[in-house]
Amino acid sequence: MLLPLQAAPEGPLAVAGTFASFAIFLSVTAHIAARNVLGDVPVRNAFVVGPVPAAISVLVATFAAGNSTVILVGVAAAIALDWAAIRALYDESTRLSAYITFIHFVVSVILGAIVFGLWALSLSAPG
C-alpha cells in the first residue's frame, strides 16, 4: 500500500530523475559537511561523494518493497560507502572521515526535513 506522499516510479526516466535530484542534494550536503569540518575544500569532491549514497538509496527504495531488513542494510551500506568516498577523496584519517560522514548524515537529515516540511506546507496552502 502506498502512502499519499509516496509514488511508484513510472519508468526509467523517473528513476533517473529521482537519482539525479537526490545525488545533487547529497552533494550539496556533503560539501556543507566537509566545509564545516575541514574549512575550504574543493566542491568537485562533493559531487563525487553525493552520488554514492544516492545510488544505494534509489536501488534500495526501488527493490526493497517494504522489507525492513533490506532497508537497514541499505542504510548501513550507504553510510559505509559514503565514509569510504569521503576518506578516499579528502585523504583524511579514518576517524576524521567518520566525523565528516556523521556531519554529512546530520546535515542531510536536517536539511531534508526542512525542505520536505516547506514542500508539504506549500501543498497545504489555500489555492
| 39-62 pLDDT, tens digit each | 999 999 999 999 999 999 888 887
**pTM, whole model, 2 decimals?**
0.84
**Each residue's pLDDT tens digit, 89-124:** 999 999 999 999 999 999 999 999 999 999 999 988
Q: What type of residue is 90?
A: Y
Give the integer Cα–Cα distance in Å for 37 and 97. Answer: 10
Could you give the CA distance from residue 71 to residue 17 in angstroms, rounded to a whole number? 21
